[in-house]
Structure 1
Amino acid sequence: MSENLKKRIITAIVLLALVAAALTWLPPLGWLGFAALIAGLAGWEWGALAGHGAGLRVAYGLFCALAVLLLAAAGLDDWRHPHGPLLPVLYGVATAFWLLVVPLWLKRRWPAAGTLGSLTGLVVIVPSALALAQLRWPSASFLLAAMALVWVADIAAYFSGRAFGRRKLAPAISPGKTWEGVYGALVAVNIYGALVLRYALPPAVLDKLPSSAAGWALGLFAMLALTALSIIGDLFESLLKRQAGIKDSSQLLPGHGGVLDRIDSQTSTLPLVALVLALAAA
């Protein structure tokens, strides 16, 4: 076993234990603090992608964490349940950014430096951290199910791409990704989504969803959108790292790179999950 593989395994075990402990024992305010910590670390890493110096990177990370706490204080009851339009609007803005702006960004390959990079980082990091904080409270299983969608898409894309991959998806950004991998991810995520609807969706939300063909069509569209967003999030961070000339967002997680390397696709999918949940529960 290589030294790097050992590091990856040990780090993965430690991370799983920490997340499991946080999900099990942290109260609402504690879980929000955990989400703010993730945002702060991700913001510190984003500063490198935006070309900031060491001091500004720290300040930017602290600002991201503080923004999460302040917006949660304004938009969450008991640090758990959204009230008013603030958070749904933020989730909508983030989702629109990922679906409408980032595909064009990937095509034009705009640099994410300076002020543009700093503003973009806020759109990427803050809404996803707020969604992470909020989605814990329907149930821990629901949050894990939402996050696992990305893992299902990644695994299916990898194996279907290895088996059938012929046409490159974005060779200049991520040479290993193929269209065949995308198709495999779409199939796997839709199967997974059907299981989530059956076993992990909160009853209060499930009862409000239409059981007709329109309901199934809505579910299919959501799965397609989330699969696309998971891939777009991955490609976007890959592009920014290439532009910055770095392999990993940091070395905070031995064998895994940085926090952004682990949550790149979560930043693009969790806001949409939180938005759909808020609209369904309204």
Structure 2
Amino acid sequence: MLRTRVITALVIAALLIPAIFLLDPRAWMLLTAAITAVAAWEFARLAAFPVVGQWGFGVLVALLLLVAILGLTPGQLADAGLFSMLLSAAFWLCLVPFWLRNRWQGLSAWRMLPVGLIVLLPTWYALIALRENSPGWLFAALLLVALADIAAYFFGRAFGRRKLAPNISPGKTWEGAWGAMATVTVLAVSSQIALVGVDAGRILILMVVMPLLTLVSIMGDLFESMLKRQVGLKDSSQLLPGHGGVLDRIDSHTAALPMLALLLGWLA
């Protein structure tokens, strides 16, 4: 299993990293739209859509993104993207904490459909907006969220005592979450100093915002884990050997990337 997982991760990296830096903007939009449509199909599985509805939701998301790519001007796309990312921030900060705490379940497919759109469409636009700023910024954002997950795992293994959400993801601990928040904040502040220079205002903002963003990324992971538990699935799909599905790999990113894009736009 470990060998399969490592091989799959290397193949994904070998395909994704060149795409981030080499594809033209339209090709990047289409590639990420295809990935988002697959994630939409997987989300519909976790939301207990009927089989036809699962495929239908994937097609719906694909069509919405194609309309955005082909039918909107850059200004219209930017306005729609900004609105979607603000909606995403409100969803993750104001609604999901209560959803996780109360473990709401049994919502109909019609009620889960807008939830899927709020989870996925802003993530797609964040991938576009971060790359438009700089492919390096997008790569750094993806890496930062991945490092938060890795840090949470290792700090949890080493120091974990108090369960973060035992009924949703028994392996996660508060110690792991605190370790991830500290790691991400130190990396963000260090990068700011090394690449941009000492700016007390920006450093203060990073010290306040990065722990929150790390916690939000953990909520993204927990939210998907909760949906999987409610429908009795181990993975969102089996498309990525050793890893599960696309949504299993981007669950934390769906929560964090839109807010990282908003933060970058604010600081720019």
Superimposed CA distance per residue, residues 8-56 of structure 1 (whole angstroms, 9 cap, x where no aligned partner): 1221121111102312331110000011011100001011112122222
Q: Measure how far apart 1:276 and its partner are.
A: 1.8
Equivalent residue for 1:17? 14
Q: Measure how far apart 1:86 and its partner are.
A: 2.6
Q: Measure how far apart 1:72 and its partner are.
A: 4.6
Give, as a single letter, the amino acid of the residue that structure 2 aligns with 1:190. Answer: T
Name the CA shift for 1:189/1:74 in 2 (closer, same or farther; >3 Å). farther
Instruction: Give the ranges of 4+ consecutive aligned residues of structure 1 lying more than 3 Å apart after TM superposition.
Output: 71-76, 81-85
Equivalent residue for 2:227? 240
Equivalent residue for 1:50? 47
Give, as a single letter, the amino acid of the residue that structure 1 aligns with 2:41. Answer: W
Aligned 8 A contact 2:192 2:203 in 1: no
Equivalent residue for 2:262? 275
Superimposed CA distance per residue, residues 118-165 of structure 1 (whole angstroms, 9 cap, x where no aligned partner): 110000011001111221122222111111111221121111111111
Equivalent residue for 2:240? 253
1:73 and 1:86 map into 2 onto residues whose CA distance is: 14
Q: Measure how far apart 1:103 and its partner are.
A: 0.4
1:161 equivalent among 141, 144, 156 = 156
1:86 equivalent among 76, 80, 85 = 80
Name the CA shift for 1:168/1:278 in 2 (closer, same or farther; >3 Å). same
2:112 equivalent among 103, 108, 117 = 117
Aligned 8 A contact 1:47 1:57 in 2: yes
Equivalent residue for 1:8? 5
1:12 and 1:113 map into 2 onto residues whose CA distance is: 35
Deviates more, 1:190-199 or 1:255-264: 190-199
Q: Measure how far apart 1:93 and its partner are.
A: 0.7
Equivalent residue for 1:99? 93
Superimposed CA distance per residue, residues 55-114 of structure 1 (whole angstroms, 9 cap, x where no aligned partner): 22112112112223333556663xxx8875332221111011001100000011112541
Aligned 8 A contact 1:32 1:69 in 2: no
Aligned: 1:181 with 2:169: no
**Aligned with 2:203: secondary structure?**
helix
Deviates more, 1:134-143 or 1:183-192: 134-143
Equivalent residue for 2:189? 194
Equivalent residue for 1:29? 26
Tell me the number of residue pairs that the alignment of Structure 1 and Structure 2 aligns. 267
1:265 equivalent among 248, 252, 258 = 252
Unaligned runs of 5+ in 1: 201-205
Aligned: 1:71 with 2:68: yes
Aligned 8 A contact 1:75 1:87 in 2: no
Normalised by the length of structure 1, the TM-score is: 0.88
Aligned 8 A contact 1:109 1:239 in 2: yes
Give, as a single letter, the amino acid of the residue that structure 2 aligns with 1:94. Answer: S
Instruction: Considering fraction of residues, name the structure with more helix.
Output: 2
Unaligned runs of 5+ in 2: none
Aligned: 1:130 with 2:120: no
Aligned 8 A contact 1:75 1:86 in 2: no
| Aligned ranges 1:197-216 → 2 under 5 Å | 197-198=192-193, 211-212=199-200, 214-216=201-203
Aligned-pair Cα RMSD in Å: 2.1
Aligned 8 A contact 2:240 2:246 in 1: yes
Percent of counterpart pairs with the same letter?
Answer: 45
Superimposed CA distance per residue, residues 220-277 of structure 1 (whole angstroms, 9 cap, x where no aligned partner): 1220121111110010000000001100000010110000000000000010011122
Give, as a single letter, the amino acid of the residue that structure 1 aligns with 2:239. Answer: L
